[in-house]
């Protein structure tokens, strides 16, 4: 469902070339949750943006359901729900207005949009503030609305970039519960997170990124065999300490 092939991105910042992502490849199938893990600046967010078509790759490509993000960006975008760490809300709109607006952008018919809205409001407990101005919501409430916003068109692919940032334990649980449901529903999910313990419990496969390169890739058992370590946290810390860079 998602294919990433030799994807690279080179930026120029302050006159210097920065290789944000360097030739990474992986696939994610239906009903699979792929954890994209790595330190800040490892290239997780850039990779997700390239898959979505928001950032043009320097080389390589990404495909979603057979559509290449550089060639058919609208077809790719219509199949993806993005939850971003930096996403905000329209301060002068209510969550209901915003969710229906985004449903419309994705071409969802009004009656389907209403049904999806009711379902998501149930899942994320939005009913209490569905008609309040977004500026008055708390951080956690905003994050839930954002999650609902990315799912309002019921996409087959989910890209979640730090979906639990700013959420309390209960809020995080709601998110991870939803990801589990999405897997059951046959969606392909890529999660980028710092919550390695949760990721370990939730993801089917992992990709460990370090300085733009894919250090390790596979199931937890694969990674344990490759590194000789038992947990993702240990692997992550070992990788950072050693500055280890290995091709997957």
CB 41 within 8 A of CB 210: no
Q: Does residue 21 bind other proteins (CB under 8 A)? A: no
**Residue 23 Cβ vs other proteins, minimum distance, rounded to whole Å:** 19
- Residue number with CB closer to other proteins (82 or 190): 82
State how far the Cα of 151 lies from the Cα of 168, in Å rounded to an integer. 21
Closest contact distance (angstroms) between CB of 224 and other proteins is: 32
The nearest distance, CB 217 to other proteins, in angstroms, is 25
What is the distance of C-alpha 54 from the center of its chain? 13
Considering only residues 42, 63, 143, 149, which one is a binding residue for other proteins as defined by CB under 8 A? 149
CB of 174 to other proteins, least distance (A): 15
Among positions 101-120, residues that touch other proteins (CB under 8 A) are 101-102, 104-109, 112
CB 74, min distance to other proteins, A: 4
Among residues 151, 223, 237, 214, which one has the least CA distance to residue 21?
A: 214
In the complex with other proteins, the residue whose CB is nearer, 21 or 196, is 21
Q: Which of residues 200-239 bind other proteins (CB under 8 A)?
A: none
- Residue 21 phi/psi, 5-degree rounding, is -135, 135
Nearer to other proteins, 157 or 220 (CB): 157
Q: What is the CB-side half-sphere exposure of residue 152 using CA atoms within 13 A?
A: 29
What is the per-residue burial (b if ≥16 Cβ within 10 Å, else e) of 120-157? bbebbebeebbeeebeebeeebbbbbbbbbbbbbbbbb
Distance separating alpha carbons of residues 7 and 57, to the nearest angstrom? 7
Q: Which contiguous run of DSSP H or E holds residue 156?
A: none
- List the interface residues with other proteins, window 38-97 (CB under 8 A): 49, 52, 54-56, 73-75, 77-80, 82, 84, 86-93, 97
Residue closest to 208 by CA, chosen among 182, 238, 166: 238
Interface with other proteins by CB under 8 A: which range of 142-150, 189-197, 199-207, 230-238? 142-150
Residues in contact with other proteins by CB under 8 A are: 11-14, 49, 52, 54-56, 73-75, 77-80, 82, 84, 86-93, 97, 101-102, 104-109, 112, 146, 149-150, 153-156, 181-182, 184-187
């Amino acid at each position: 469902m998602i294919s990433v092939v030799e994807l690279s991105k080179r930026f120029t910042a302050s006159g210097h070339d920065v290789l944000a992502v360097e030739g990474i490849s992986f696939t994610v199938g239906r009903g699979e949750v792929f954890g994209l893990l790595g330190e800040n600046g490892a290239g997780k967010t850039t990779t997700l943006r390239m898959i979505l078509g928001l950032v043009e790759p320097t080389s390589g490509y990404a495909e979603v359901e057979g559509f290449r993000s550089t060639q058919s960006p609208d077809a790719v975008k219509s199949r993806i729900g993005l939850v971003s760490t930096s996403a905000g809300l329209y301060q002068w709109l209510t969550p209901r207005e915003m969710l229906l607006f985004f449903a419309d952008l994705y071409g969802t018919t009004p009656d389907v949009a209403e049904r999806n809205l009711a379902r998501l409001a149930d899942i994320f407990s939005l009913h209490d503030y569905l008609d309040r101005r977004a500026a008055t919501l708390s951080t956690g409430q905003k994050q839930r609305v954002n999650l609902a916003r990315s799912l309002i068109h019921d996409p087959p692919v989910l890209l979640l970039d730090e979906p639990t940032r700013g959420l309390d334990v209960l809020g995080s649980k709601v998110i991870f519960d939803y990801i589990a449901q999405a897997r059951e529903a046959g969606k392909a999910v890529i999660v980028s997170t710092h919550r390695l313990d949760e990721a370990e419990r939730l993801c089917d496969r992992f990709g460990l990124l370090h300085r733009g390169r894919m250090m390790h890739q596979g199931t937890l058992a694969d990674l344990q065999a490759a590194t000789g370590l038992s947990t993702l946290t240990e692997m992550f810390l070992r990788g950072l300490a050693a500055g280890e860079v290995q091709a997957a």
